Amino acid sequence: MICLLCSQSVSSPDYLSGDGGKQRAFSAMKRHKEKTMETAKRGSRMLGLAFLIQFVTSFACGLFVLPAATGVGGFALPADIGQTMATIARNSGLIRLNIVMELVTAAGVIFLGAILYSTVRKHNEGLSLTAFGLYVMEASLVAVKMLLLFALLAFSRRFIAAGGPASMKPTAEMIYEVMSYSSKMLNFVFGIGGTIFYALLLKARTVAWPLSLWGLVSAQGVSAGVVLGLFGAAAPIFLYVAYIPFELVIAIWILIKGIRKETEG
């Protein structure tokens, strides 16, 4: 009786017995591997696309659309607020375009944070979630900044309609200064979140380690410049230069090369 039970317990299931069963098992394993590879490729495309959207919209707004709409360089405060308000009032279409593009940027920040979180969370769930939360905060501050920009547009129209009275200029200067300070705040939040994500990318070796190291180191320059700005000091432009091309480079690299799967190594 015991021998019979043992014989039954070690016998192979019908679907695995014989050459046909082995072939079916092999086919199932092959389909699983192909599905895993396709999922990895899809994740690579999404991460690369997230970096690309973030770069294109923020770069275009900061260097082209907003300066054209306000007459003020991306990192400068207006020398003549009255002239700036007149320029803004004339370029309401560009202001609205900038707002829409920056809201796309905000959505891209959240999208990027979500993809980065799903990519590196296995290495530290708590830090990954914290970094994602900081990216959401950054996107929220982008939206606040755009509300201030629209307020400046509406106020500039009233300024021109009223004949450009000097009494309205201090209010416009205050709006512009708050908007500028909100940029520093969102970049400060990004510096922390980016540092966490790039450190985890470096640990995970999800992308080539020189890229992760580039992001990690250059984010410190951004953070240093932002901290100086938050305390009213002028930050040298070289602190930001190293990070500017990073998101474009890593986006192209990921779209072409893909990311390293968690199951490797």
The alpha carbon dihedral of 7, 11, 13, 14 has a sign of: negative
HSE-up (13 A, CA, CB side) for residue 7: 4
Rounded average pLDDT over 162-185: 95
Q: Which of 14-23, 96-105, 159-168, 234-243 has the lowest mean pLDDT?
A: 14-23
**What are the domain boundaries of the chain?**
41-257
Is pLDDT of 265 > 50? no
Is pLDDT of 22 > 80? no
How much is the pLDDT for 31? 58
How much is the pLDDT for 12? 47
The pTM (predicted TM-score) of the whole model is 0.82
Q: What are the pLDDT digits (tens) for 102-130?
A: 999 999 999 999 999 999 999 999 999 99
Q: Residue 209 CB: number of other CB atoms within 10 A? A: 13
Supply the DSSP string of 38-49, one letter for each residue: HHHHHHHHHHHH
Calpha distance 259→261 (Å, rounded): 6
Is pLDDT of 157 > 90? yes
Q: What are the pLDDT digits (tens) for 175-231?
A: 999 999 999 999 999 999 999 999 999 999 889 999 999 999 999 999 999 999 999
Calpha distance 252→257 (Å, rounded): 8
Higher pLDDT, 18 or 133: 133
Q: Which of 35-49, 93-107, 147-161, 240-254 has the lowest mean pLDDT?
A: 35-49
How much is the pLDDT for 234? 87
Calpha distance 155→172 (Å, rounded): 7
Q: Rounded to the nearest 5 degrees, what angle is found at the Cα of 117, between the Cα atoms of 35 and 202?
A: 95
Instruction: Name the pLDDT band for 79 (thresholds 50, 70, 90).
Output: confident
